[in-house]
C-alpha cells in the first residue's frame, strides 16, 4: 500500500504553519501551468503562502504543460498576475523554487521525464528515497484530460514510498452518471485519502467562519432550526456575462457551474448538525448527512433565465456571443427551492439562486426568521441574519429598534460586523491560498468527498435532464438588471419571504 494522507484535525484546530514547521521535503507539480487558472489563481496563491512563510523551506515547484517555454518565459508567466508592488526579493526567492517541464498529457515518456525532474529536485533537497517526502499533483486542467493525466501520474510518476496528494478542480462530471464514472476512474488509481476535490468557495473566509459562528455561540445555535427560521436564501450574483467564453459555459450552464457545487456546499455547512469533532471526516460526515436528506429538485420549484443585451445596447446578450448556438436554452440565471427533510429543517424552504450579467457582484447567505408571536409590534418586519461572503466580508443582524430622541417611530437597523473595519490589519487570503495550505497540511475538511459529490448530483441530475429533454426555455432578462421579471414573486410565493415594511438600507462601513 502507498503512504497516503493520514486523517487529521480540521483547519480550525491544526496550526496553519504545520507544513512549514514540519518542513517535509515537498514537490508541487502544477499541471496546466500555461493556462489561465494556474496563472491567475494557483501560482499567486503559492506566492502568497511563500510570502507568509507558510510553505516548507525544502520545496520544489514544477510547472507542466504542453506549451514549449523557456525558463524565462515560464517565470514571466508565473509572475504576470502578481501585485505590481510585490517585494522583489520575495519574487526572486519564489522563482528559484520554480522549474518547468513541457510534455503531452497522454505520453508516458513525457511523464517519465517529469519524474526525472522531480527526483532531481528531491536530490537537491537531500531527501532522495526518504519516506518523509510529500508530492502534490495539482490538476489545473479541463475535465476532459483528468483521467489521462491521473493515469500517467500513477503509472509513471507516483512513488509508493512517499505521501502523494492529487488536487482536482471542478467540474466533477456533467451529471450523476458521468460523475460516478469519474469517481470510479480516479478511485481505481488513488485512495480517497489521497484525493482533494477543490471547491474554492469552501476556502472563502465567511464560509469557513460558519462552523465557528454556529457552534461557538449559544444564542445562534439555539435559534438555528425550523422553530425560529422561516426561510434561507443563498445568492450568487455576477455583474458580467460570459465575456467570450460562452461556448465553454454553454456546455454547463449556471446550475452545473455554480449551484450544484459552490452553493450546495455552502448549504450543507449552514444546515449540518454539530459534528462529533472538527476532524475532517466528522465534518464531512455531517455535510453528507444533510445532502442525503434533500429531495431531488422539481421543475416547478425552479425559475430559469437567460440574459439579453442591456437596455442601452452597450452590453451584448448571451446569444450575441458567436460561440453560443442561436437556439441555446442554457440558463445564465437560476433559482431553485430545496427542502431538507430532517427534524431540524423540516418545513423550512431553502432558495439557492445564481446569475450572470446582473446588477452587482455579491454572494450572501440570508437567514430570515419568523414573525414575532405577539401583538405589541405586529408584522412590522422580520429579523434577518445576513452573511456576506463577497465582495466585502461582513455579517449583520437586521434588528428593529426605536429611533433615538423624542420620536417613538420604529426603524430597522443592524448589529454589524464588517471585517474591513473590525480587523484593520488582517489580510484575508484568496480562497485558493487557504485550500492549497490545507492540502499541504493534509487536511480534507474543506474538500469534497466522493459520497458528497454523489449526493449533490443525485439532487440535481433529474432536473437537468428534464430541462434538456423538454427544451425548457429560460425567461429573458436585460444585462445589468436584477434578473428576469417574476423572479422575486417566485420566491415570495414559494417560500413566504417577506421584505421589511420599515425603511432600511445596509451599507458596508467605510
What are the tens digits of pLDDT across the range 231-285? 999 999 999 999 878 888 999 999 999 999 999 999 999 999 999 998 999 999 9
Output the CA torsion 393→397→398→400 (10° steps): -150
pLDDT of residue 5: 43
**pLDDT digits 0-9 by tens, 174-204:** 999 999 999 999 999 999 999 999 998 888 8
pLDDT of residue 19: 87
**For the residues 489-501, what does the mean pLDDT come to?**
83
289, exposed or middle or buried, with CB in 10 Å at 0-12, 13-18, 19+?
middle
This prediction has a pTM of 0.89
The two most distant CA atoms of the chain are separated, in Å, by 82
| Active-site residue set | 262
Nine cell digits for residue 322:
458567436
pLDDT of residue 8: 44
pLDDT of residue 79: 95
Separation between Cα atoms, residue 171 and residue 260, nearest integer Å:
10
Would you call 225 helix, strand, or coil by DSSP? coil
**For the residues 75-85, what does the mean pLDDT come to?**
92
Separation between Cα atoms, residue 364 and residue 484, nearest integer Å:
19
Mean pLDDT of the chain: 90
Strand ranges, E, within 262-361: 302-308, 333-339, 349-355
For residues 410 and 402, the answer to whether their CB atoms sit within 8 Å is yes
Task: Tell which wins on pLDDT, 112 or 21.
Answer: 112
pLDDT of residue 243: 86
Q: For residue 402, give the nearest of 411, 394, 393 by alpha carbon.
A: 411
pLDDT of residue 10: 47
pLDDT of residue 78: 96
315 has pLDDT over 50: yes
**pLDDT digits 0-9 by tens, 444-463:** 999 999 999 999 999 999 99
**Confidence band for 135, pLDDT divided at 50, 70 and 90:** very high
Separation between Cα atoms, residue 90 and residue 210, nearest integer Å:
34
**Confidence band for 379, pLDDT divided at 50, 70 and 90:** low
Residue with cell 501520474: 153
Amino acid at each position: 500500500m502507498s503512504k497516503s494522507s493520514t486523517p487529521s484535525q480540521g483547519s480550525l484546530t491544526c496550526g496553519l504553519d504545520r507544513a512549514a514547521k514540519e518542513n517535509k521535503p515537498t514537490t508541487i507539480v502544477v499541471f496546466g501551468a500555461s493556462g489561465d487558472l494556474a496563472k491567475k489563481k494557483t501560482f499567486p496563491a503559492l506566492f502568497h503562502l511563500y510570502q507568509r512563510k507558510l510553505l516548507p523551506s525544502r520545496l520544489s515547484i514544477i510547472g507542466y504543460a504542453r506549451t514549449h517555454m523557456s525558463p524565462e518565459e515560464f517565470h514571466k508567466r508565473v509572475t504576470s498576475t502578481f501585485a505590481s508592488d510585490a517585494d522583489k526579493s520575495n519574487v526572486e526567492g519564489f522563482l528559484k523554487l520554480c522549474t518547468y517541464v513541457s510534455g503531452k498529457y497522454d505520453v508516458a515518456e513525457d511523464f517519465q521525464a517529469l519524474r526525472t525532474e522531480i527526483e532531481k529536485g528531491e536530490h537537491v533537497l537531500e531527501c532522495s528515497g526518504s519516506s518523509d517526502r510529500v508530492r502534490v499533483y495539482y490538476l489545473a486542467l479541463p475535465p476532459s484530460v483528468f483521467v489521462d493525466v491521473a493515469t500517467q501520474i500513477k503509472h509513471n510518476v507516483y512513488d509508493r514510498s512517499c505521501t502523494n496528494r492529487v488536487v482536482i478542480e471542478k467540474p466533477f462530471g456533467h451529471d450523476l452518471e458521468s460523475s460516478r464514472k469519474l469517481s470510479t476512474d480516479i478511485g481505481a488509481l488513488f485512495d480517497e485519502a489521497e484525493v482533494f476535490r477543490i471547491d474554492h468557495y469552501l476556502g472563502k473566509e465567511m464560509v469557513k467562519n460558519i462552523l465557528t459562528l454556529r457552534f461557538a455561540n449559544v444564542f445562534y445555535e439555539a435559534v438555528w432550526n425550523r422553530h425560529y427560521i422561516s426561510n434561507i436564501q443563498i445568492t450568487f450574483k455576477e455583474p458580467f456575462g460570459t465575456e467570450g467564453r460562452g461556448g465553454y459555459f454553454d456546455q454547463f450552464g449556471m446550475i452545473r457551474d455554480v449551484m450544484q457545487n459552490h452553493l450546495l456546499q455552502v448549504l450543507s455547512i449552514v444546515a449540518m448538525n454539530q459534528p462529533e469533532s472538527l476532524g475532517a471526516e466528522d465534518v464531512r460526515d455531517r455535510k453528507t448527512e444533510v445532502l442525503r436528506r434533500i429531495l431531488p429538485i422539481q421543475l416547478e420549484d425552479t425559475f430559469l433565465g437567460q440574459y439579453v443585451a442591456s437596455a442601452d445596447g452597450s452590453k451584448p446578450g448571451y446569444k450575441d456571443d458567436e460561440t453560443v448556438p442561436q437556439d441555446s436554452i442554457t440558463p445564465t440565471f437560476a433559482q431553485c427551492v430545496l427542502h431538507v427533510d430532517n427534524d431540524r429543517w423540516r418545513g423550512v424552504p431553502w432558495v439557492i439562486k445564481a446569475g450572470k450579467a446582473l446588477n452587482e457582484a455579491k454572494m450572501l447567505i440570508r437567514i430570515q426568521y419568523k414573525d414575532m408571536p405577539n401583538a405589541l409590534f405586529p408584522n412590522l418586519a422580520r429579523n434577518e441574519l445576513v452573511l456576506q461572503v463577497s465582495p466585502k466580508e461582513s455579517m449583520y443582524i437586521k434588528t428593529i429598534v426605536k429611533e433615538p430622541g423624542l420620536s417613538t417611530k420604529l426603524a430597522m437597523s443592524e448589529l454589524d460586523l464588517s471585517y474591513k473595519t473590525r480587523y484593520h490589519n488582517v489580510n484575508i487570503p484568496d480562497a485558493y491560498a487557504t485550500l492549497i495550505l490545507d492540502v499541504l497540511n493534509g487536511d480534507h475538511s474543506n474538500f469534497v468527498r466522493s459520497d458528497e459529490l454523489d449526493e449533490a448530483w443525485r439532487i440535481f441530475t433529474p432536473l437537468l435532464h428534464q430541462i434538456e429533454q423538454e427544451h425548457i426555455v429560460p425567461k429573458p432578462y436585460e444585462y445589468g438588471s436584477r434578473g428576469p421579471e417574476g423572479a422575486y414573486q417566485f420566491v415570495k410565493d414559494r417560500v413566504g419571504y417577506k421584505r421589511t415594511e420599515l425603511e432600511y438600507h445596509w451599507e458596508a462601513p467605510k
